[in-house]
């Protein structure tokens, strides 16, 4: 179906049996977009869909819309839909609602499902344990290929992903993994232990989700096993969960660099936007006052040499731009694991060298500009030197600020830009006006 409107028309005009036969051809994301853009009553459309498909819709909906979508249905239908959701999808839903609604849903689950969900809820939501699913296929190494195939016929439909079959011992310790391809091409009586891969890349249950995403990016797997300290397999993380993590982390970093709350939506209310933006604007106001206070120390010099006021924004602005360039590269390096303990000194040397070269080049350019503008060689030397010093300081602060914030377990994207901008503004003004004050007899 090429157009979103065709999806709604199809659901309205067909019987439940016809819908059941064709619904797998419509991706849940496309259906949600069609539903959002339709004037039809959502329940009238949704009640014709099978429970497992509605479960997919809930999973693909935004966090603040998951429970609203589920709440359209009766309590009985709601329980059937929840029963179709995988454990990680259900945990995502529970994380988006209040404690009363959460408790009501957990109480509606059977004991095994409730235990699984409570186990997942106990993990940090930003760790591997917090994003893993409990639905995976596990077999014993003494099973044959034929027995495994029979087992898969029963278990694969309930699995989060049937691409990998995990081999566990009697204590649930992960011993290996078997690819479906190897099962299919092997003879029926072949022991699983003969075709399993024993050198397995695993994910510790307490690993941060950003690190998990880096491992998936490195190896390109569709799913990876999650284990505890004893090697016991606890669940799996799938590539769709990792893609969601990457999207969320990127959005969070982008918003925080701009001083915004990552929860703010473009279609959200004015009050939420004010609550998100005003605090950081107040912080920026304080840093601007600090820069203004630095300028006020040199009022007597500015009064005598008015041209200083013209060039002050150039020095501070260029320092801010240079600092932001370094800051962006370092934050990206931290996020992707490219900045390590082993290479951090080399990275620092590189950034300092860049600051020196850029500072020298721009210092020479702005120095000639200052001389041409004012007609005073000393003025050109003052602004050129100030530009050189500020760009060197900018690159150094652009390196150290996010590194130190990371060391103190503060998200570098959260406050780095404010600190770097403050350093370049304050020191830029201090270098320029301070040098002008020292050489004032040659400038007047």
**What confidence tens digit (pLDDT) does each residue in 12-57 have?**
888 888 888 888 888 888 888 888 878 888 888 898 899 989 988 8
Q: Band of the pLDDT at 378, cuts 50, 70, 90? A: very high
Closest CA to 54 of 40, 42, 63: 42
Closest CA to 61 of 34, 37, 28: 28
- For residue 389 the two structure tokens come to 């010093």
pLDDT at 157: 55
Kindly give, in sequence order, each residue whose CB lies less than 8 Å from that of residue 113, ignoring residues fewer than 6 positions away: 83, 87, 90
Spatial distance between the Cα atoms of 108 and 303, rounded to a whole number of angstroms? 76
Instruction: Provide the mean pLDDT of the chain.
Output: 87
> Where do runs of H (alpha helix) occur along 258-376?
270-296, 299-304, 307-335, 344-374
Kindly give, in sequence order, each residue whose CB lies less than 8 Å from that of residue 183, ignoring residues fewer than 6 positions away: 145, 148, 149, 152, 165, 195
Q: Which domains are assigned to the chain? A: 4-126 (1.25.60.10), 138-254 (3.10.580.10), 270-443 (1.10.357.20)
Q: Band of the pLDDT at 254, cuts 50, 70, 90? A: low
Is residue 316 a contact partner of residue 390, using CB atoms and an 8 Å limit?
yes
pLDDT at 283: 83
User: What is the Cβ-side half-sphere exposure of residue 325, based on CA atoms within 13 angstroms?
Assistant: 16
Closest CA to 236 of 164, 295, 297: 164
Is residue 309 a contact partner of residue 391, using CB atoms and an 8 Å limit?
no
Kindly give, in sequence order, each residue whose CB lies less than 8 Å from that of residue 8, ignoring residues fewer than 6 positions away: 34, 35, 38, 40, 45
Is residue 383 a contact partner of residue 364, using CB atoms and an 8 Å limit?
no
pLDDT at 385 over 90: yes
DSSP 204: E
Spatial distance between the Cα atoms of 402 and 430, rounded to a whole number of angstroms? 23
Pairwise pLDDT comparison (87 vs 250), residue with the higher score: 87
Query: Going edge to edge, which strands form the sheet with 138-140?
Result: 138-140, 164-168, 174-179
pLDDT tens profile 299-356: 999 998 988 999 999 999 999 999 989 988 998 888 777 888 889 999 999 999 999 9
Question: What are all long-range contacts of 184-187, with beta carbons under 8 Å and residues at least 24 apart?
Answer: 186/145, 187/145
pLDDT at 380: 95
pLDDT tens profile 52-101: 899 888 888 887 788 889 888 888 898 888 888 888 888 888 888 888 88
Is residue 423 a contact partner of residue 397, using CB atoms and an 8 Å limit?
yes
Kindly give, in sequence order, each residue whose CB lies less than 8 Å from that of residue 238, ignoring residues fewer than 6 positions away: 133, 160, 161, 222, 223
Is residue 419 a contact partner of residue 284, using CB atoms and an 8 Å limit?
no
pLDDT at 393: 95
The per-type count for the chain, helices as H runs and strands as E runs, is 23, 6
Is residue 433 a contact partner of residue 312, using CB atoms and an 8 Å limit?
yes
Task: Give the mean model confidence (pLDDT) for residues 208-229.
Answer: 90
pLDDT at 273 over 70: yes
How much of the chain, in percent, has pLDDT values that exceed 70?
93
pLDDT at 224: 93
Is residue 324 a contact partner of residue 420, using CB atoms and an 8 Å limit?
yes
pLDDT at 1 over 60: no
Q: Minimum mean pLDDT among 58-62, 263-267, 376-380: which range?
A: 263-267
Q: Band of the pLDDT at 265, cuts 50, 70, 90? A: low
Pairwise pLDDT comparison (276 vs 37), residue with the higher score: 37
Q: Using a cut of 0.75, tell me whether the model's pTM lies above it.
A: no
Spatial distance between the Cα atoms of 78 and 254, rounded to a whole number of angstroms? 36
State whether residue 203 is helix, strand or coil.
Answer: strand
What string of DSSP letters covers 225-259? EEE-TT-BEEEEEEHHHHHHHHHHHHHHHHHHHTT
Pairwise pLDDT comparison (176 vs 95), residue with the higher score: 176
Spatial distance between the Cα atoms of 59 and 62, rounded to a whole number of angstroms? 8
Is residue 285 a contact partner of residue 405, using CB atoms and an 8 Å limit?
no
Burial of 312 per CB tally in 10 Å (0-12, 13-18, 19+): buried
- For residue 364 the two structure tokens come to 């020479």
pLDDT at 194: 92
Kindly give, in sequence order, each residue whose CB lies less than 8 Å from that of residue 63, ignoring residues fewer than 6 positions away: 92, 95, 96
- For residue 307 the two structure tokens come to 């041209």
Q: List the end-to-end C-alpha distance of the chain, in Å, as a whole number.
A: 77
Closest CA to 437 of 257, 278, 268, 303: 303
pLDDT at 158 over 60: no
pLDDT tens profile 226-249: 999 999 999 999 888 888 888 777
């Amino acid at each position: 179906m090429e157009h979103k409107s065709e999806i709604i028309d199809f659901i309205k005009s067909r019987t439940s049996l016809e819908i059941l036969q064709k619904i797998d051809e419509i991706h849940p994301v496309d259906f949600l977009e069609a539903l959002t853009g339709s004037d039809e009553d959502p329940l009238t459309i949704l009640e014709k869909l099978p429970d497992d498909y509605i479960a997919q819709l809930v999973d693909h909906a935004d966090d603040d819309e998951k429970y609203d979508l589920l709440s359209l249905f009766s309590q009985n239908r709601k329980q059937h839909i929840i029963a179709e959701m995988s454990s990680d999808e259900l945990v995502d839903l529970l994380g988006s609602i209040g404690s009363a609604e959460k408790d009501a849903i957990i109480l509606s689950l059977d004991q095994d499902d409730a235990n699984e969900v409570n186990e997942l809820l106990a993990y940090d939501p930003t760790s591997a344990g917090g994003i893993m699913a409990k639905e995976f296929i596990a077999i014993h190494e003494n099973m044959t290929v034929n027995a495994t195939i029979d087992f898969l016929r029963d278990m694969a439909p309930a699995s989060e992903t049937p691409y990998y079959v995990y081999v566990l011992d009697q204590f649930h310790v992960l011993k290996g993994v078997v690819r479906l391809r190897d099962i299919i091409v092997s003879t029926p009586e072949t022991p699983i232990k003969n075709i399993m891969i024993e050198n397995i890349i695993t994910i510790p249950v307490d690993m941060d989700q950003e690190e998990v995403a880096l491992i998936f990016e490195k190896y390109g797997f569709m799913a990876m096993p999650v284990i505890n300290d004893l090697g016991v397999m606890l669940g799996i993380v799938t590539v769709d969960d990792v893609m969601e993590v990457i999207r969320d982390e990127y959005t969070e970093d982008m918003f925080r660099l701009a001083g915004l709350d990552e929860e703010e939506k473009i279609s959200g209310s004015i009050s939420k936007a004010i609550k998100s933006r005003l605090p950081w604007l107040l912080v920026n106001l304080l840093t601007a006052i600090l820069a203004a206070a630095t300028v006020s120390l040199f009022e007597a010099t500015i009064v005598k040499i008015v041209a200083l006021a013209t060039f002050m924004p150039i020095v501070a602005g260029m320092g801010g731009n240079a600092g932001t360039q370094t800051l962006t590269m370092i934050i990206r390096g931290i996020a992707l694991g490219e900045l390590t303990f082993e290479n951090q000194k080399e990275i620092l040397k590189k950034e300092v060298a860049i600051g020196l070269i850029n500072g020298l080049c721009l210092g020479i350019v702005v120095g000639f500009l200052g001389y041409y503008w004012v007609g005073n060689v000393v003025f050109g030397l003052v602004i050129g030197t100030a530009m050189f010093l500020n760009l060197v300081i900018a690159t150094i602060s652009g390196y150290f600020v996010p590194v130190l914030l990371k060391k103190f377990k503060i998200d570098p994207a959260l406050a780095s830009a404010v600190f770097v901008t403050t350093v370049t503004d304050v020191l830029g003004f201090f270098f320029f006006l301070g040098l002008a004050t020292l050489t004032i007899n040659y400038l007047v």
